[in-house]
């Protein structure tokens, strides 16, 4: 097993917080991370890693997966990975892709295990969720807690509803700052997301996600006012028609009290009555 500190030394790099680089160096966390996928019998025939850095997690993934595709945007680290893992690349176990994970073409992976760059973790996560594959991803702890939050809690919001639309996310481990080099300003958490179909149906998924986003921009308002105030976000041409058709008690509630199933039902009503553009 490659030593994380040794990899950093051979790479000749130091993490740069300004470039969103916080390398995971704790052997114990690195060793546990793949087990969160194997514990649910995730298919590891082709694992995707985003933000490979100097390769400490890459090394562990190559030992449990048939194939690994590692995406890294730093050209110096890409060159190092290709030297350090030349044997794994030669035998077809590893492919290293240079580029930004928000822009590059992602392969047809079977699972994704990654220490994500926190500045773009939300965008990356919602690029991955629709693929309906098992995920084990490192996030800022606050972000992770919002992802798994339940209705009627302070953390519950657009992120909770959107993530839980695609998967069943759970925090499997909180990770201290000292597990990284350099240490980030906040604690982190590993989230395991098992893909599943939601308990409801929506006829227009893009509108559903946009509608949820709109209502949470006015989470302190009643739904009656939130729907009327956010037509420019949701795309509703006639928000008043939705309010008038909805249950009066429901319109007196706030977005943070609605379960995803209730959002879905309200979304279908909005599609029917609100003439979304």
pLDDT digits (tens, 9 = 90+) for 42-75: 999 999 999 999 999 999 999 999 999 999 999 9
Reported pTM: 0.94
Angle at 201 between CA 199 and CA 203, to 5 degrees: 165
pLDDT the model gives residue 248: 96
* C-alpha separations of 78 from 33, 49, 95, 105 in Å: 22, 13, 11, 17
Of 111, 174, 138, whose CA–CA distance to 56 is shortest? 138
CATH topology of domain 205-273: Helicase, Ruva Protein; domain 3 (1.10.8)
pLDDT the model gives residue 20: 80
Q: Say whether 43 counts as a known binding-site residue.
A: no
CA distance 154 to 174: 19
Reply yes or no on whether the pLDDT at 138 is more than 90: yes
Q: Say whether 235 counts as a known binding-site residue.
A: no
Interval 151-163 mean pLDDT: 97
CB 188 within 8 A of CB 179: yes
Identify the weakest region by mean pLDDT among 16-20, 120-124, 135-139, 240-244: 16-20
Reply yes or no on whether the pLDDT at 17 is more than 90: no
Q: Say whether 18 counts as a known binding-site residue.
A: no
Q: What are phi and psi for residue 50, nearest 5 degrees?
A: -110, 125
Interval 196-204 mean pLDDT: 94
Reply yes or no on whether the pLDDT at 201 is more than 80: yes
Give Cβ neighbours of residue 69 (< 8 Å, ≥ 6 apart).
Answer: 46, 47, 48, 49, 94, 95, 97, 107, 109
* Domain range list for the chain: 4-195, 205-273
Q: Say whether 229 counts as a known binding-site residue.
A: no
pLDDT the model gives residue 277: 66
Question: What is the widest separation between alpha-carbon atoms in the chain?
Answer: 66
Reply yes or no on whether the pLDDT at 125 is more than 80: yes
Reply yes or no on whether the pLDDT at 276 is more than 80: no
For domain 4-195, the CATH class is alpha beta
CA distance 58 to 78: 12
- Residues 181-190 have pLDDT tens digits of 999 999 999 9
């Amino acid at each position: 097993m490659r030593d994380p500190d040794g990899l950093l030394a051979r790479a000749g790099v130091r993490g740069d917080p300004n470039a969103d680089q916080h390398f995971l160096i704790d052997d114990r966390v690195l060793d546990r991370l793949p087990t969160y996928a194997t514990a649910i019998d995730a298919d590891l025939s082709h694992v995707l890693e985003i933000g490979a850095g100097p390769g400490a997690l890459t090394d562990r993934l190559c030992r449990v997966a048939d194939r690994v595709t590692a995406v890294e945007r730093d050209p110096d680290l890409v060159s190092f990975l290709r030297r350090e893992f030349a044997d794994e690349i030669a035998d077809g176990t590893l492919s290293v892709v240079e580029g930004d994970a928000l822009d590059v073409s992602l392969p047809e992976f079977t699972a994704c295990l990654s220490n994500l760059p926190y500045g773009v973790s939300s965008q990356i996560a919602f690029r991955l969720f629709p693929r309906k594959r098992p995920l084990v991803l490192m996030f800022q702890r606050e972000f992770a807690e919002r992802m798994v939050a339940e209705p009627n809690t302070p953390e519950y919001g657009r992120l909770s509803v959107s993530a839980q639309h695609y998967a069943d996310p759970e925090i499997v481990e909180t990770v201290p700052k000292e597990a990284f080099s350099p240490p980030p300003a906040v604690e982190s958490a590993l989230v395991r997301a098992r893909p599943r179909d939601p308990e409801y149906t929506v006829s227009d998924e893009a509108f559903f996600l946009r509608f949820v986003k709109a209502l949470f921009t006015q989470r302190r308002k009643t739904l009656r006012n939130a729907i009327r105030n956010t037509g420019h976000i949701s795309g509703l041409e006639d928000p008043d028609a939705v309010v008038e058709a909805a249950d009066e008690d429901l319109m007196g509630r706030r977005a943070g009290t609605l379960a995803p199933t209730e959002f879905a039902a309200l979304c279908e009503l909005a599609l029917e009555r609100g003439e979304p553009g």
